[in-house]
Amino acid sequence: MKKNLLILFFGVICSLFFMQSFAQERTVTGTVTDGVSNEALIGVNIVVRGTTTGAITDVNGNYSISVPSGEAALLFSFIGYAAQSVAVGNQTVIDIQLAPSTVGLDELVVIGYGTQKRGSITGAIVSVSSDDIQELPVTDAGSALQGRAAGVVALSAGNQPGEGVTIRIRGRRSLTATNEPLFVVDGIPYDGNIADINPRDIKSMEILKDASATAIYGSRGANGVILITTNRGGDMETIVSYMGHYGVSSVLGLPDMMTGDEYYTLKEVGGRAFTADEIDAHNAGISTDWLDLVIDKGYQQNHQLSVRGGSAKTGFAISANYFNEGGVIETQDFTRYTFSTEFHGKSKHVVFKNRKLLQKQFSYSRATSIFDWDTS
């Protein structure tokens, strides 16, 4: 009797264990189709959430997967479709329709360097604002970078008026090729001279210095890239502004030259022979200060007139600039005339939405150096 009871008890335990195992593990099958066309989707990934158990659909969109319990959930995912999660519960057949995931062009924006938080930028970038440019009477846009950007060297190319500056970003990179950076004005590569751009028309300048920042410009950006954004019109009242200044320049230091008597004494002590003209000049008490005859006060003047305005759909900006600089030597001077126009508009009926429609800049400059002086 005891043996029969032991066998019966053992049979009940095995049955309960089998029923529990059957209740926990099951196989779920089904078909995955497109929610729009109702076509079968091949290669859909099905994973039991929280585990590494998974399966994919066959050529007919069918799948089969083992789930540990009714409390499990299946995650369906496929490229181009929104992922969907379904609780298994008591189901053994689960058919799913996946909805396509569409990204509109208005929601996807691919940029090089535009509106972006500074904390999310990984490249080396230095910005120079309009206030930094206008607080000093700089002659050209390049001069505005002197001492304002780390890793950017802007040295004067010479002492003559309008000479401009030589810009090097993180030093020289080539012994034979050009070391000039790439200038991009309002998104368009600029092949002209940066000295022809009126600094009063510049809203901001961004200097891209490292490889990651300049990568989008290819080999042209190997020497660094300077992004220049000019002033534009917009949804504002029409603003007419004038800005002008006039300044005087002088030589910082002059060598201490000898007078006529000192020079005569030097030659006399040194036992040097005198010419007849030198003897006559000394006897007549003539002493000429040649530096005083050549060097004088220089000057610089700059006049800017601009008009900006527009509406919610259109904007315009017109500016004219006259710049003139006279050197400390009378025969040296530099004159620049700049005229710039910009018009932009947008409309929902135009294919080229929010595109700049017109932008023109005309510049004329004239320079005279000491070597151009006609002595005839």
The 10s digit of each residue's pLDDT in 34-55 is: 988 888 999 999 999 888 888 9
pLDDT single digits (tens) 248-275 = 988 888 888 888 888 889 888 888 888 8
- pLDDT exceeds 90 at position 97: yes
- pLDDT exceeds 80 at position 112: no
Residue 369's pLDDT is 58
pLDDT single digits (tens) 134-172 = 777 777 788 878 877 777 888 877 777 877 788 888 777
Measured on CA atoms in the order 209, 210, 213, 218, is the torsion positive or negative?
positive
Residue 108's pLDDT is 40
- pLDDT exceeds 60 at position 349: no
- pLDDT exceeds 80 at position 317: yes
Distance (Å, rounded) from C-alpha 280 to C-alpha 278? 5
* Cα 229-230-235 angle, rounded to 5 deg: 110
Backbone φ and ψ for 372, nearest 5 degrees, come out as: -90, 0
- pLDDT exceeds 60 at position 284: yes
What pTM did the predictor assign? 0.56
| CA distances for 25 relative to 45, 53, 55, angstroms | 20, 13, 16
Distance (Å, rounded) from C-alpha 85 to C-alpha 74? 6
- pLDDT exceeds 90 at position 207: no
Residue 315's pLDDT is 86
How many C-beta atoms surround the C-beta of residue 248 within 10 A? 9
pLDDT band at residue 20 under the 50/70/90 scheme: very low
Give the chain's mean pLDDT.
78
Q: Taking a C-beta distance cutoff of 8 angstroms, is the pair 241, 306 a contact?
A: yes
Select the more confidently predicted residue: 351 or 13: 13
Residue 231's pLDDT is 84
pLDDT (mean) for 266-286: 88
Residue 117's pLDDT is 45
Residue 372's pLDDT is 54
Residue 363's pLDDT is 60
Select the more confidently predicted residue: 108 or 320: 320
Residue 29's pLDDT is 93
- pLDDT exceeds 70 at position 356: no
| CB within 8 Å of 58: residues ≥ 6 apart | 42
- pLDDT exceeds 80 at position 237: yes
Q: Taking a C-beta distance cutoff of 8 angstroms, is the pair 32, 44 a contact?
A: yes
Q: Which of 61-65, 126-130, 203-207, 267-271 has the lowest mean pLDDT?
A: 126-130
pLDDT band at residue 350 under the 50/70/90 scheme: very low
Q: Which of 132-141, 171-180, 315-324, 357-366 has the lowest mean pLDDT?
A: 357-366
